[in-house]
Structures are given as C-alpha cells and as structure tokens.
Amino acid sequence: ETGVTQTPRHLVMGMTNKKSLKCEQHLGHNAMYWYKQSAKKPLELMFVYNFKEQTENNSVPSRFSPECPNSSHLFLHLHTLQPEDSALYLCASSQEDSGRSSYNEQFFGPGTRLTVL
Amino acid sequence: QKEVEQDPGPLSVPEGAIVSLNCTYSNSAFQYFMWYRQYSRKGPELLMYTYSSGNKEDGRFTAQVDKSSKYISLFIRDSQPSDSATYLCAMRSPGNQFYFGTGTSLTVIP
C-alpha cells in the first residue's frame, strides 16, 4: 500500500449505529487530518493531530470522536449521527517541522462516502 | 464573508481551450496558495502551490497570485478530456490553518 488509505470506501448507517472510519498513511508523516466534504461547500477541517497530539478541533459535534493511536493511523468514531452528517470524509497527512512556518504538502486519501439514514 | 470564494461552476469547455479558474479571499495574512485537482471518487491531489504574488508555471498549468487584489487564478492551456475534474483552491494562514474553496467542476469535451 502506498500513500494514504481509507476504509471503508462507502458506509451507510442508521442514526443509532456506531461505526468507525479508519485512515492509514504509509508516508512516514507526523501529522494527520480529518476533513468533511459536502456538496457545494468548502472542505471543512475537523481535527488535526500533530505528533500524535490533537492540536485542533474546529467545534465539531461530540458525535464525532477522533483517535490517533500512532503517527500512521487515525480513526474517526461515529455515533448517533444525523442525516446532515452524510458527506465524504477525507483523511490527509503531512510532514510538519516544528517551529518552522513552511509549506508542507497535505496528501489526501480517497475518502469514505458516508450516508446516514 | 467567507474566507475563500470560488465559483462552483460547472464549467464546460471544448478540448484545446484555455481554462481560467479563479478564487478570491478575504484574509490578507494568507501565505501559501494552492490548487488541488479532485477526480470523481478520489481525494484531492496537489497540482501547484505558490508563496508570493506572480506567476508559477508547470507544463500546461499556470498559477497566478495577486495579493493586492486577494485574487488567485489557475490557467490550463490546451485543455484535455483528462483535465475533467473538480479544482479546489486553498490557502494557508501563518497559523497553519487551511481554507478551501468550494471547488469548480470542469468538463473538457473531446
């Protein structure tokens, strides 16, 4: 496997279900991200993990719960979602250099298409 | 006011045409300006990024940044059917936050 992989690619769940999205990066990066992509809306940054520590949480509802067990893996745990949470969930990774403000490319996975019924 | 504005299109052009994609932004502190291409059922992939005002060329693609007008553009010369995708502009703040446009859907007709 190369790059950033995400599983599952498609997920349909009811509002009372609990499911998890998985992301794995094979690039040796130290930062990972979850984004939400909805139709006709900009990508929304949900969570950032830098060196395995959560450094950003953009006021995401508590029904989304991230987990970063190591620098290669990132999970998004889902529970009691709403239909408006249906979207493409993208994972990305990058190599961040502490203390430097330089551009570090984000590499995206293919996404998980989530449908909440 | 949104941080980044991008016309969602859709944009449809004949093969060989020059395509112009644009974004405007409101935050003068943005430092890096990126263009991503996203094919259907795939994640975005970085096409180009620039740091300062001016032009940057890569093959058939030219990225242009005008910081005084808070306006960025992506030009595609000799467009090909394989260029059909959604193009996302993105900007990064000094605090390493990324802001994306809504994406412009482009179709190049053979």
Per-residue pLDDT of A43-94, as tens digits, reads: 999 999 987 677 777 789 999 999 999 989 999 999 999 999 999 999 999 9
> What angle (nearest 5°) sits at the alpha carbon of residue A40, between those of residues B57 and A66?
90
Please tell me chain A's helix, strand, coil percentages from 3-state DSSP, rounded to the nearest 5: 5, 55, 45
B42 Cβ under 8 Å from any chain A Cβ: yes
The residue assigned the tokens 């969570």 is: A47
A-interface mutation test, from B100, B104, B105, most A Cβ less than 10 A away: B100
Average confidence score pLDDT of chain B: 93
The DSSP symbol for B86 reads E
Nearest chain B residue to A41, by CA: B102
Contact A109 B51 (CB under 8 A): no
Query: What pLDDT, in 10s, does the model give residues A13-51?
Result: 988 889 999 999 999 999 999 999 998 889 999 999 987
Residues A114/A89, Cβ–Cβ less than 8 Å: yes
From B39's Cα to the closest Cα of chain A, the distance in A is 10
Q: Band the pLDDT of A100: cuts 50, 70, 90.
A: low
Question: What is the pLDDT, as a whole number, of residue A50?
Answer: 85
- If one compares A101 and B105, the residue with the highest pLDDT of the two is B105
